[in-house]
Amino acid sequence: MTTIEKIALGKNGPMVSKLGLGCMRMSAVWGGPVNDESESIATIQAALDNGINFLNTGDFYGAGHNELLVGKAIKGRRDDAFISVKFGAIFYGGQWLGLDLRPIAIKNFINYSLVRLGIDTIDLYQPCRLDNSVPMEDVIGTVADLIKEGKVRHLGVSEITADQLRKANSIHPVSALEIGYSLADRQIENDLLPTAKELGIGVVAFANTAEGLLTGDMKAPLAANDYHSHFSRFQGENLIKNLETVEVLKNMAKEKGYTPTQLAIAWVNAQGDHIMPLVSMSRRSRLPENTAAMEITFSADEMNTLNTQFAQGAIVGGTYLQR
Look up the domain containing 57 and give its range: 6-211+262-295
Query: Residue 314 — pLDDT band, cuts 50, 70, 90?
Result: very high
Is position 93 within any domain? yes
Biggest CA–CA distance in the chain, Å, is 55
The answer to whether residue 229 is domain-embedded is: no
Answer yes or no: is 313 within a domain: no
Residue 277: which pLDDT band, with cuts at 50, 70 and 90? very high
Question: pLDDT for 148-174, tens place per residue?
Answer: 999 999 999 999 999 999 999 999 999
Within-domain flag for 161: yes
The CA distance from 152 to 158, in Å, is: 16
For residue 318, the model assigns a pLDDT of 81
pLDDT at residue 187 in the model: 94
Is position 232 within any domain?
no
Cis peptide before 103 (omega within 30 of 0): no
Amino acid 230: pLDDT: 83
Task: Give which of 249, 241, 232 is closest to 310, Cα–Cα.
Answer: 249
Q: What pLDDT does residue 323 have?
A: 53
User: How large is the average pLDDT for residues 249-264?
Assistant: 98
What whole-number percentage of the chain has pLDDT above 70?
A: 97
Which residues are CB-neighbours of 147 under 8 A, at least 6 positions away? Answer: 153, 154, 155, 172
Average pLDDT of the segment spanning 136-149: 98
- Evaluate if residue 238 carries a pLDDT over 90: yes
Specify the amino acid at residue 64: G
Please check whether residue 75 is in contact with residue 115, taking contact to mean a CB–CB distance below 8 angstroms: no
| Structural domains in the chain (count) | 1
**CATH number, residue 287:** 3.20.20.100
| Catalytic positions, written as ranges | 61
Weakest mean pLDDT among 90-94, 131-135, 266-270, 291-295: 90-94
Pairing state between β 6-8 and 95-99 = unpaired
Mean of per-residue pLDDT scores for the chain: 94
pLDDT at 12: 80
| pLDDT tens by residue, 24-81 | 989 986 556 677 899 999 999 999 999 999 999 999 999 999 999 999 999 999 999 9
* Three-state SS at 206: strand
Residue 73 domain-assigned (yes or no): yes
* In contact, 19 and 52? CB cutoff 8 Å: yes
| 178 within some domain | yes
Is 126 among the domain residues? yes
293 backbone dihedrals φ, ψ, rounded to 5°: -60, -25
Task: Work out the average pLDDT over 91-105.
Answer: 92
